């Protein structure tokens, strides 16, 4: 299969690339800084911004065969490594994720042939999963800078559901770790039954996202996942 990945130079995006390449897929990565990824067999790197429809459209023109799906693994940059730090005002506008997804959908529709599917790495607490977070996480997502990320993810959810003709999978992982890939637990979109504060490795999420691109099992869904 042929995939475009937006956000491929990040920690999660690199794992999606590795997982997809290991399964024989062809990947094009749209990145702001091409030196952040090295081209190799199966991987084409294109310079561009997810905030530009034209850049995404150009990336979708780099292969002579049609693309099967687009991955989005972006995350807001912060002024420090703390997850509670404010967003970087230069590199992370308030709707970084939502506008990038909107632009991707526009470019997908304009491609020849149109790209039928998008798989987005979101987060637990988005949309209807917020109500099933434990009370501590609801406070964090409401009263710290993390509310800004949640608002952007909520806007992504709306963009996906307001895009008729485009199939989507919106993956909502619990707390991310850098552990190895492990067996996954998949919960309803609202996260019922996930427990107090489960974790999931980025490698597990990457594997799940590629599997979601390969099949239709989770099309039109926003599954909450953990290990």
- Mean pLDDT confidence for 25-39: 94
Separation CA 28–CA 24 (nearest Å): 13
The phi-psi region of residue 127 (left if phi > 0; otherwise alpha if psi is between -120 and 50; otherwise beta) is: left
- Burial label for 210, CB within 10 Å (0-12, 13-18, 19+), is buried
Architecture, CATH, for domain 2-226: 3-Layer(aba) Sandwich (3.40)
pLDDT bracket for residue 60 (50, 70, 90): very high
**Those residues with Cβ within 8 angstroms of residue 92's Cβ, 6 or more apart along the chain or in another chain:** 76, 77, 78
Whole-number pLDDT of residue 147: 86
Is the pLDDT reported for residue 100 higher than 70? yes
Cis status of the peptide bond prior to 113, with omega within 30 of 0: yes
Separation CA 163–CA 142 (nearest Å): 28
Is the pLDDT reported for residue 76 higher than 80? no
Average pLDDT, the chain: 92
Separation CA 19–CA 225 (nearest Å): 18
Q: What is the dihedral of CA 63, 74, 121, 99, to 10 degrees?
A: -90
Residues 83-98 pLDDT 10s: 655 666 666 688 999 9
Residues 136-188 pLDDT 10s: 889 988 888 788 889 999 999 999 999 999 999 999 999 999 999 999 999 99
| CA distances, 51 to each of 102, 103, 107, 180 (Å) | 9, 7, 11, 32
């Amino acid at each position: 299969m042929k995939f475009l990945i937006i956000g491929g130079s990040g920690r999660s995006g690199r794992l999606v690339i590795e997982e997809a390449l290991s399964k024989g897929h062809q990947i094009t990565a749209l990145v702001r800084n091409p030196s952040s990824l090295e081209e190799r067999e199966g991987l084409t790197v294109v310079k561009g911004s997810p905030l530009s429809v034209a850049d995404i459209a150009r990336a979708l023109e780099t292969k002579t065969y049609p693309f099967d799906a687009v991955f989005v693994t972006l995350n807001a940059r912060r002024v420090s490594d703390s997850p509670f730090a404010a967003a970087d005002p230069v590199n992370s506008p308030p709707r970084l994720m939502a506008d990038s997804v909107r632009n991707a959908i526009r470019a997908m529709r304009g491609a020849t042939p149109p790209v039928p599917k998008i798989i987005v790495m979101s987060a637990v607490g988005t949309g209807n999963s917020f109500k099933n977070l434990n009370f501590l996480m609801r406070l964090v997502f409401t009263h710290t800078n993390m509310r800004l990320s949640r608002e952007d993810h909520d806007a992504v959810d709306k963009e996906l559901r307001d895009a008729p003709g485009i199939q989507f999978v919106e993956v909502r992982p619990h707390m991310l770790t850098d552990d190895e890939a492990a067996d996954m637990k998949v919960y309803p979109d609202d996260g019922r039954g996930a427990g107090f504060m489960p974790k999931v490795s980025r490698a597990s999420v990457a594997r799940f996202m590629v599997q979601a691109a390969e099949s239709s099992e989770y099309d039109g869904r926003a599954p909450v996942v953990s290990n």
